[in-house]
Each structure stands twice: as structure tokens, then as C-alpha cells.
Amino acid sequence: MTPPQNWIYLNQFVELSSPWTRLLGERWRDQEGRILDYWRVERADSVIILPIQNGEILLPKPQFRPGLKTQTWDFPGGRVREEVSASAEAILARELGIESSDVAQLLPLNAEGWAINSSFSNQKLYGYLARLEAKGRVDPDLLGERWPLAPLDWNHCLGRLTCLQCRAVFWEAHHQGLLTA
């Protein structure tokens, strides 16, 4: 998508790059002729997976988040490094020890991805629901909690999730009627 005709890109005045993130400073002229500096972050897209096995949602152990200076409960997730579904399978293996052969169904919740902070970043978030084989292996050393779907205690679940992206995936799975035992 191109900017409106009355917005004119002037130049880029800074770029900082790392393997994970690229920070750009850009100068634009708006429809009123004002010169505006915009900062933008480019990051790889993300995927969050909601794994379900035997009528329970599985969560890995809490992870330390340096930006929050605390540990948080999150669904398995990470950056998209290849095709989104292949990244989702790799994340399940890394965060819960789940092999691809133990995933009965990997269902995308949003095929196009949601824009994350679209005024500052170009990142998209993809959500998946993973139905695991009943006897599929989950690494007990990586597993943090199991949340029963019947009955689903929304207050408990939402009280544990601080990540807005995890909450969005959780809500979308519920909205699509997929959180059933």
C-alpha cells in the first residue's frame, strides 16, 4: 500500500540494525506541508500457538521478560523464520517438546495476520490452535500449567496472561468456538 498522495517521503535519517530488529528514522511532509520525523521498527512477524491436549490448554513455564522485569505466563510463541505453520511447529518443539508427529491439527486463526502497533512497526501476528494427539508427548520439564476447557475459567486464564498478543489469540479461538473439550 502506498502513502496518500498528499504525504511525501523526504529521507531516512537513521538506521540501527540487529539480527532481531531494525530501527528506522524517516522524515515525511504531510498534507499541510509540515515536516514530521517518524520512528519505525521492523521486526519479523510473530506466531502464537494455543496448544490443546485432552481437553486442556497447555502453557510452558513462565519466561522472564526483561522489558517488564518479571516472569510472565504466555502461550508458546516466537518469530516467523520460515512458513508460518513450520515456525509454529518449531516453536511447539522448542517450548513444550512437542514433535510435529504429535500435532493432530494445526489450525490458523487469522490467515492474514494482525498488525501489531501499525503506526510504529510493520510486524504481524499470526495465531494458531494446535490440537495435540491424546497420547502425544509433552516435555514435563517445559510444561508450566494445564487449563481445563470444561469448565473454562476465564477470570483465571485472563488473570494469568499479561501478554496482549496471547490474550488476542485466546479471545480469537474462543470467538471462533474452538475452545471446547
CA distances to 59, 85, 131 from 105, in Å: 18, 11, 5
Determine the pLDDT at residue 175: 94
Highest mean predicted confidence (pLDDT) among 2-16, 77-91, 111-125: 77-91
Mean pLDDT of 82-100: 96
CATH class of 50-101+129-175: alpha beta
CA distances to 63, 145, 151, 168 from 156, in Å: 18, 12, 11, 16
Query: Can you spell out the DSSP letters for 67-121?
Result: TTTEEEB--SEEE--SSHHHHHHHHHHHHH---GGGEEEEEES-TT-EESSTTTB
What is the average pLDDT value for the chain, to the nearest integer? 92
In whole angstroms, what is the distance from residue 163 CA to residue 74 CA?
7
Q: Which tens digit of pLDDT belongs to each residue from 21-77?
A: 899 999 999 999 999 999 988 888 999 999 999 999 999 999 998 988 999 999 999
Would the pTM of this model clear 0.95, i.e. be above it?
A: no
